[in-house]
Amino acid sequence: MSAIRMPEPDAQVLARRAEIIAALEKILPKESVVSTPTQLRPYETDALTAYRQTPIAVVLPETTEQVAQILRYCSANKVKVVPRGAGTSLSGGALPLEDGILMSMMKFNRILDVDLPNRAVVTQPGVTNLGITREVEHAGFYFAPDPSSQLACSVGGNIAENSGGVHSLKYGLTTNNVLGLEMVLMNGDIIRLGGKHLDSEAYDLLALLTGSEGLLAVITEVTVRVLQKPEGQQAVLVGFPTIIAAGQCVADIIAAGIIPGGMELMDNLSIVAAENYVNAGYPTEAAALMIIELDGPQAEITDLLAQVEAITQKNGAIYQRISQSEEERALFWAGRKSAFPAFGRLAPDFLCMDGTIPRAKLPEVLLEMEALEQKHGLRCGNVFHAGDGNLHPLILYDANKPGDLEAAEAFGADILRLCVKVGGVLTGEHGVGIEKRDLMPEMFSETDLAHQERIKCAFDPHHLLNPGKVFPQLHRCAELGKMHISGGKLPFPDIPRF
Amino acid sequence: MLENDKVNGGAHPASTVQAQEASIFAPQNTQQVQEVVAWALAQQQPLQIEGTGTKLGWGRAVELPHRLTLKNFSGIIDYQPEELVLTAKAGTPMAQIEAALAEHGQILPFEPINPAAFASGHGEPMQTTGTLGGVLATNLSGPRRLKAGAARDHVLGLTAVSGRAEVFKAGGKVVKNVTGYDVARAFCNSWGTLMIATELTLKVLPRPQEERSLCVLGASCETASQIMSAAMASSAEVSSAAYLPDFVARRLASNPLADMGSLTLLRLEGSSGSIAARFRQLQSALNAYGEQSTLDASTSGSIWRQIRDVVPLALPQTCLWRISLAPAHGHRFLQALPHSLASGYFRDWAGGLVWLQTPTEEPEGETIRAALHKAGGGHATLMRAPLAQRQQQQVFQPQPAPLQQLSQRIKQQFDPQAVLNPGRMYAGS
């Protein structure tokens, strides 16, 4: 294991391993409690594969009541719990704890209610992102968040991570597309939020749960809204001689009042990697490639295409191709969506970063990143959700080369610090997990983090649910609860009053 | 309210403010907000939090001697149109924000309700009042919420002071961010009871070039549910959909269709070419539902503003409820109500938002919530009522015990001594 340390396992809990497994087997059928080393191996990691830990056991409940019973038992016996969906997290959100159990939600795999008049789907959390769309596409509907892992990732995981995708500028992240959920707190309380209606009656707990990375509650049911597909979609590939020109083109399109369905940017290394991988017809000579997707009625697309073309020409585009069929549009995207595996061919390993920056800072950040390549002696490619400023630098390394992983992690940390420095954030859609946990103080002060931890304390005061993630340091809730009031007199003679 | 208070003169040295006196604090920066909350904690005196006070008549009524107003804490801090991001101080008037956005052809997509016009009978364009902080603290969004999302969907980050008198920030200033809990979004609809936001960052969008509305005439409430569902199931990208029964339609100002019975209105926005194509599509998708008519841009704009501000239900001496429910269940809810209560209403958000006016000063909360439960659930909030009713009634939807306890624990974490707007949402919290 490398730079990121996990909390020391509790020896007392480890010593009770057999007893814990026996207790879990009383709650669940025997086959739903996994505890042999061979069976546990597939659960050791998620998609942040550099980190692995073996839990005490994996439990696979299939009812909300079972989840509540397990959590009540674990609460009473101070056993930590890590929830897991499909295990596609890129930030280590589902990394098990050695002194905890892993709760896999993959037996919650049924869609419960497809309600098209209300444009809502009620589903169990283990259903895949694409599984929802498949259930409603016969009527022209789809579930808008489209992370690249949508074939595999679960909707429960989408909520935990507030997943985005290439269409999120126009159609929102998961948080903008969730209507309700059922969840179980660590104390066993079963709580329903929302439903098929819009907005919360009081505090917006859906907002807190979405993106909470499995630290607040275990989600056992989800209601999402589905949208009607736009009438048509057309994508344009545009090549540029410099990445700066492409960045300016992005700004100009937005400034013209156009919000494309998707707007992606790839640098030359990514273009070449993707082209070699899927033969999407990308111009490998271009320094930067934009994919712009326009959607709506054909009249609107045609009109927008003309406007976009004028803007790309003005910015010195050297290549342009407009999709002429649904197959061709899918091919344009296939290159972009396979960028991660394509990079897998360029080097034995790569780290995928996920900062967001104000779009205008793109040239500055890219220049600085070139300098960082020199500093760390590693190559880095860039794919970029240009519409919303979400950067995915891919750092190439070789885990078998001593020191390479550490160098890649240091490079990644430098990139994220740079994102924060220019006014951006540590993560746009992959989550903090363990990967960016120790960088949180780059963006948040101790007081900022304390207020976030207080949310955690309201849900899970003993830090039993997915501890060691998101927060660089765990404070006892009792300690966070103390008030530190300075003074008592009113020390502000200059505040105007009436 | 001002005349009833003993008001401290501005010349007083602030440190002489006694807990027994009524006072209005008007801090001008985050540090000063923090100092007022520290004072409230030390004196164990709760604060009533307000902007320009336009929503003091909404929600649960609290009348506290000490008030903190953010109206002197105003101004746009940063606005970059090409980033689609705006940061402003919480006390910035909405009119100022909307004017700054308009200069660059942009808008707040969620179409905030104008508190000055709200249920007042003024349906024509007037400057939106209230402050940015107030709009977000109450998460009240207009007809375009259906397509564009609510106020809460547009919040990106904030700086705030909690009931612990600590300044903190949450979220960021970019449109895509999942770093840490989404505390900024959770500020929305907290009605000043968790934190006092001092600076807020929002996502903004280009203003649609044009609008036009298709109108289906004379549908029943139940058929309107089907019409709106069918419209939302088409690719026409309907941005707002409402049903106005005939007696409500007749109360609209400048409505050319006032004598045509009930109106099922569907708004399309975008470029003219796009609207034309989608309009044709919508017309044919709704062909089976009876006679159709069209509202041009200016009539459409005027009518949707009146719907946004609930102008047709502007009758004094009545109570006004705001009910959110599954859109296709709206008619079931209205059918489940006693006939005497189901007379003054209209439906927005494709049927998912019912504005209901109860005919007397009696709010009838239990009856309304029982009917809502029968129709499949949702939530009902008492928006306008005589003061005494807003003090005694369950203004916000009661929550099941585990959820209520969880909400209480969050309140205690952020405001352990309950100095921020106690009782504004629920009694005793």
Q: What is the pLDDT of residues A187-216, one digit of tens each?
A: 999 999 999 999 999 999 999 999 999 999
- Domain of residue B384, CATH code: 3.30.70.100
Locate B274 and state its tokens. Answer: 């796009």
- Label the pairing between strands A227-228 and A141-142: antiparallel
Q: How confident is the model at residue B63 (pLDDT cuts 50, 70, 90)?
A: confident
**Residue B184: CATH number of its domain:** 3.30.465.10
CA nearest A119: which of A172, A197, A233, A199?
A: A197
Tell me, yes or no, whether B247 and B319 share the same domain.
Answer: no
From the CB of residue A310, how many other CB atoms can be counted at a distance below 10 Å? 12
- Residue A488, classified by CB atoms within 10 Å of its CB into exposed (0-12), middle (13-18) or buried (19+), is exposed
B333 CB neighbours in chain A (<8 A) are none
The verdict on a CB contact (< 8 Å) between A498 and B378 is: no
CB atoms within 10 A of CB B366: 11
Residues B131, B12 within the same domain: yes
pLDDT in tens, B196-247: 999 999 999 999 999 999 999 999 999 999 999 999 999 999 999 999 999 9
Beta carbons of A297 and B403 less than 8 Å apart: no
Q: Are residues B64 and B26 part of one domain?
A: yes
Does residue B322 fall inside a structural domain?
Answer: yes
Whole-number pLDDT of residue B9 = 34
Tell whether A64 is within 8 A of chain B (Cβ): no
Cβ distance of B84 and A454 shorter than 8 Å: no
CA atoms of A337 and B94, how far apart (whole Å):
41
Q: Phi first, then psi: what are they for A357, rounded to 5°?
A: -130, 160
Same domain, B289 and B179: no
Distance CA A179, CA A120 (A): 8
Strand order from edge to edge, sheet including B23-25: B23-25, B66-69, B48-50
Tell me if chain A has a CB within 8 Å of the CB of B32: yes
A497: left (phi over 0), alpha (psi -120 to 50) or beta: beta
Burial string for B319-340 (b: 16+ CB within 10 Å, else e) reads bbbbbbbbbbbbbbbbebbeee
Q: Which residues on chain A are in Cβ contact (under 8 Å) with B206?
A: 257-259
Does B149 lie in the same domain as B108?
yes
Same domain, B246 and B365: no
Residues A125, A64 contacting (CB under 8 angstroms): no
pLDDT of residue A1: 39
Query: Which DSSP state fits A497?
Result: B
CA distance A247 to B361: 59
Domain with CATH 3.30.465.10 in chain A: 1-229+444-475
- Domain containing B203: what range? 1-207
Question: Please, what is the Cα angle at B101 between A163 and B70, to 5 degrees?
Answer: 85
| CA-based end-to-end distance of chain A | 62
The alpha carbon torsion through A198, A201, A207, A212 (nearest 10 deg) reads: -120
pLDDT band, residue B7 (cuts 50/70/90): very low
Q: Are residues B216 and B203 in the same domain?
A: no
> In this complex, do B83 and A359 lie within 8 Å of one another by their Cβ atoms?
yes
Q: What radius of gyration, in Å, describes the C-alpha atoms of chain A?
A: 24
CA B403 to CA A181: how far, in whole Å?
Answer: 12
Domain assignment present for B400? no
Count the helices and strands in chain B (H runs, E runs): 13, 18
* Beta carbons within 8 Å of B82's beta carbon, 6+ residues apart: A251, A254, A255, A359, A360
Q: Does B225 touch chain A (CB under 8 A)?
A: yes
> Would the CB atoms of B186 and A173 count as touching at under 8 Å?
no
What is the phi/psi pair of residue A84, to 5°? -140, 135
B75 to chain A, any CB pair closer than 8 A? The answer is no
B98 CB within 8 Å of a chain A CB:
no
Up-side HSE of residue A211: CA atoms within 13 Å toward CB? 32
Task: Give me the residue from B105, B186, B352 closest to A198, CB to CB.
Answer: B352
Q: Judge: B36–A427 Cβ closer than 8 Å, yes or no.
A: no
Q: Are residues B251 and B320 in the same domain?
A: no
B305-319 pLDDT tens trace = 999 999 999 887 789
Whether the CB-CB separation of A218 and A459 falls below 8 Å is answered with no
CB B291 within 8 A of CB B214: no
Does residue A389 contact residue A424 with C-beta atoms inside 8 Å? yes
Q: What is the mean pLDDT of chain B?
A: 91
When pLDDT is averaged across residues B298-311 and rounded to a whole number, the result is: 95
Instruction: Give yes or no for a contact between A366 and A419, defined as CB atoms under 8 angstroms apart.
Output: no
Domain end point (choices B273, B288, B308)? B308
Q: Which residue of chain B is at minimal alpha-carbon distance from A233? A: B235
The boundaries of every CATH 3.30.70.2190 domain in chain A are 232-340
> What three-state secondary structure class fits A126?
coil
What pLDDT shows up at residue A497?
46
B 142-171 residues with CB < 8 A to A: 145, 149-150, 152-153, 162, 164-170
- Closest to B147 in 3D by CA, of B189, B188, B107: B107
Confidence band (pLDDT; 50, 70, 90) for B135?
A: very high
Contact A366, A266 (CB under 8 A): no
Whether B190 maps to a domain, the answer reads yes
| CATH classification (class only), A347-438 | alpha beta
Q: Are residues B264 and B300 in the same domain?
A: yes
Asked if residue B139 belongs to a domain, the reply is yes
From A293's Cα to the closest Cα of chain B, the distance in A is 16
Give the C-alpha separation, A385 to A399, whole Å: 28
Total number of domains constituting chain B: 3
Does the pLDDT of residue B1 top 70, yes or no? no
Confirm if A162 and A175 have CB atoms less than 8 A apart: yes
Mark whether B172 and B49 lie in a shared domain.
yes
Inter-chain residue contact A258 with B273, CB threshold 8 Å: no
Q: What tokens does A293 get?
A: 């997707």
* Contact call for residues B235 and A231 (beta carbons, < 8 A): yes
Contacts of residue B205 in chain A, CB cutoff 8 Å?
Answer: 259
Helices first, then strands: H and E counts in chain A: 18, 18
CB pairs under 8 A between A and B: 345
Q: How does pLDDT run across A142-172, given as a tens digit for each residue?
A: 999 999 889 999 999 999 999 998 888 899 9
> Is the same domain home to B147 and B3?
yes
The token duo for A420 is 């924060």
Q: Do A360 and B82 touch (CB under 8 A)?
A: yes
Q: Using CA of residue B33, residue B35, residue B36, residue B42, what is the dihedral sign?
A: positive
Residue B297 neighbours by CB distance under 10 Å: 15
Angle CA(A231)–CA(A232)–CA(A237) in degrees, nearest 5?
160
Q: Is A175 in contact with B417 (Cβ distance < 8 A)?
A: no
Could you give the CA distance from residue B409 to residue B75 in angstroms, rounded to a whole number?
A: 34
B311 with B253: CB under 8 angstroms? yes
Chain B nearest C-alpha distance from A392 (Å) = 13
Whole-angstrom distance, CA of residue B325 vs CA of residue B182 = 25
Do B278 and B369 fall into the same domain? no
Q: With H, G, I as helix, E, B as strand and everything else as coil, classify residue B404.
A: helix
Within 276-295 of B, beta carbons closer than 8 Å to A belong to 276-278, 281
- Distances, alpha carbon A451 to alpha carbons A257, A397, B23, in Å: 37, 37, 29
Domain(s) labelled CATH 3.30.70.2740 in chain A stretch across 347-438
The span from the CA of B336 to the CA of A387, in Å, is 46
Q: Is residue B350 in some structural domain?
A: yes
Residue B280 lies in a domain: yes
Cβ separation B172–A203 shorter than 8 A: no
pLDDT interval class at B123 (50, 70, 90): low
d(CA B421, CA B47): 6
d(CA A98, CA A120): 39
Positions in chain A whose pLDDT score sits under 70:
1-3, 484-498
**Which residue is associated with the tokens 């107003």?**
B69
Inter-chain CB proximity B324 and A490 less than 8 Å: no
Distance CA A271, CA A291 (A): 11
Residues of chain B with pLDDT > 70, as a percent, come to: 93
Residue A325 backbone dihedrals phi, psi, to 5 degrees: -155, 165
Q: Cα-flanking dihedrals φ and ψ of residue B10, to 5°?
A: -65, -20
Q: How many Å apart are CA A103 and CA A85, to the nearest integer? A: 9
Give residues 301 to 320 of A whose Cβ lies within 8 Å of B. Answer: 302-303
Phi, psi (degrees; rounded to nearest 5) at A399: -60, -20
Across the interface, whether the CB atoms of B324 and A198 are under 8 A apart is answered yes
Kindly list the residues from chain A whose CB atom is less than 8 angstroms away from the CB atom of residue B150: 198-199
pLDDT of residue A341: 86
Residue-wise pLDDT tens digits, B23-41: 999 999 999 999 999 999 9
- Tell me phi and psi for residue A455, to 5 degrees: -60, -50
B371/chain A closest Cα distance in angstroms: 15
For A327-337, the pLDDT digits (tens) are 999 999 999 98
In this prediction, residue A7 carries a pLDDT of 83
Architecture of domain A1-229+444-475: 2-Layer Sandwich (3.30)
Whole-angstrom distance, CA of residue B257 vs CA of residue A26:
68
Q: What pLDDT is recorded for position A485? A: 61
Provide mean pLDDT across the span B131-154. 97
How does residue B6 score in pLDDT terms, banded at 50, 70 and 90? very low
CA–CA dist B181, A87 (Å, integer): 21
Distance from C-alpha of B58 to C-alpha of B319, rounded to nearest angstrom: 11
Opening angle at CA A269, ends A264 and A275, nearest 5: 75
Phi-psi region of A446 (alpha: psi -120 to 50; beta: other; left: phi over 0): alpha
User: Which residues in chain A are contacts of B15 at CB distance < 8 A?
Assistant: 489-491, 493
Residues of A with CB below 8 A from B233's CB? 116, 119, 139-141, 228
Of B260, B289, B308, the residue at which a domain comes to its end is B308
User: Which residues in chain A touch residue B27, judged by CB atoms under 8 angstroms apart?
Assistant: 492, 495
**Backbone conformation region of residue B421, classed left if phi is above 0, alpha if psi is from -120 to 50, else beta:** left
In a domain, B416, yes or no: no
Please identify among residues 341-400 of chain B the ones whose CB lies closer than 8 Å to any CB of chain A: 349, 352-353, 376-379, 381, 396-397, 399-400
In the predicted model, what is the mean pLDDT of residues B2-7? 32
Residue window 409-438, chain A: list those with CB within 8 Å of chain B. Answer: 423-432, 436
Which among B156, B175, B207 is the end of a domain? Answer: B207
Separation of first and last alpha carbons in chain B: 23
Chain centroid offset of residue B61 CA: 17
For residue A52, count other CB atoms closer than 10 A to its CB: 14
B403 in contact with A, Cβ within 8 Å: yes
Set of chain B residues whose Cβ sits within 8 Å of the Cβ of A449: 180
Residue at B409 is within a domain:
no
Is residue A464 within 8 Å of residue A186, measured between CB atoms?
yes
Domain A232-340 grouped into CATH 3.30.70.2190: yes
The answer to whether B190 contacts A117, with C-beta atoms less than 8 Å apart, is no
Nearest-CB residue to A198 (from B178, B234, B349): B349
| CB pair distance less than 8 Å for B179 and A487 | no
Closest CB to B177 among A139, A255, A428? A428
pLDDT of residue B2 exceeding 70: no
Nearest to A389 among B23, B175, B414 (CB): B175
8 A C-beta contact, residue B289 and residue B241: no
How many Cβ atoms from other residues are within 10 Å of residue A14's Cβ? 12
Tally of CA atoms within 13 A in the half-sphere of B208 that contains its CB: 24
Cα A167 from Cα A147, distance rounded (Å) = 9
